[in-house]
Amino acid sequence: MCCVHFSLLVYPGIPPVIPNIYRMLQEAGMPVYTLAEIARHLEGELHGAPEIPIRDTAEIERAEAGHITFLANPKYRPRLKTTRASAIIIDDRAGVTPEIPYIKVADAYYGFMQTVVLFHPPAKLLEEGAHPTAVIHETARIGKHTAIGANVYIGEGVEVGEGTQIFPNCVVLNNSRIGKNCVLYPGVTVRENTLIGDRVIIHNGAVIGSDGFGFAFHQGRYHKIPQVGRVVIEDDVEIGANVTIDRATLGDTVIKTGVKLDNLIHIAHNVVVGEHTVMAAQTGISGSTRIGRNVMIAGQVGLVGHIEIGDGAKIGAQSGVSKSVPPGETVFGYPARPIMKTHRIEAALNQLPELIKRVRTLEKQLRSLLENRDQNQ
């Protein structure tokens, strides 16, 4: 149920011409909504003037009149006093009552995301159909309402689902399958036999299905091991720019439903990443590691091969993970340890110079005592 509450608070300085401004903005073709309309969209509780026109979203420190902002992190609470926004989205974490009109929701961050989409709906950047310079194999099956940009190559036996957009200079090699309503931004490479689900977004320069790093050392030289597996990407996955996901040596490398990968991540052969796991930039996952669902991996993390990361685990930035992590555990550091243990070790290391100084002082005092004892004997 939508719940919109107009508080009896009076906000000075709100002119009676607001409805006229609202109409003027609409007539000019600008996206504009009243606070009441935004509150209904968010199913939130509105406190303040319902007719204030909002023309866009903005960060709390950069917002101007006509903007709506949000507060999800108490760290930014002092900026409530200086923001020039016309309204703000908050939740119970705010811990304060703003002096400007506000909409209270269950989750301010999610509510702000919904508001951004309201003002900036996803744009279809490509014209429907195939550009004349695209090369599409005669056996490829292209769904309805697709858009294929300039210089795209689509190989033999490829399937592209309805509503998918493939931007210029992408390559999709033989027998790969791309689902419905996917977006492949410029320069994406999809190697042969790759399976991609529905509503997958792949950003510029990503390579899906490159050969795994497999070599056998024999008689003084390395011999390439054929990588004959594939990559399977399930529904609602987002893959950042310049990510590389290697095909399996045998079997599948699997990225499960809802996974979100930041830029510059490498995922090696035969890795499995569980549902709704998120990884930040410059993380590297070695071969045959299995990552559970709802795992959070911060930036520049390295995982060795053939380990398991349990469901709900969290790994701090720049950690080196050399052994399996139990479900729900938070680890940090190099080597990665339970986070409280790492903090205790670091606290002890910070005291090390002073401890060394004290030990040297004690050694000097002990030598002096021993010398005095020897002289008195």
Active-site residue list: 269
Angle among Cα 93, 98, 99 to the nearest 5 degrees reads: 175
Residue 214: how many other CB atoms lie within 10 Å: 18
Pairing between β-strand 87-90 and β-strand 67-71 as defined by DSSP bridges: parallel
Angle among Cα 184, 189, 194 to the nearest 5 degrees reads: 90
| Contact indicator for 276, 255 with CB cutoff of 8 Å | no
Q: Among positive and negative, which fits the CA dihedral 99, 103, 104, 108?
A: negative
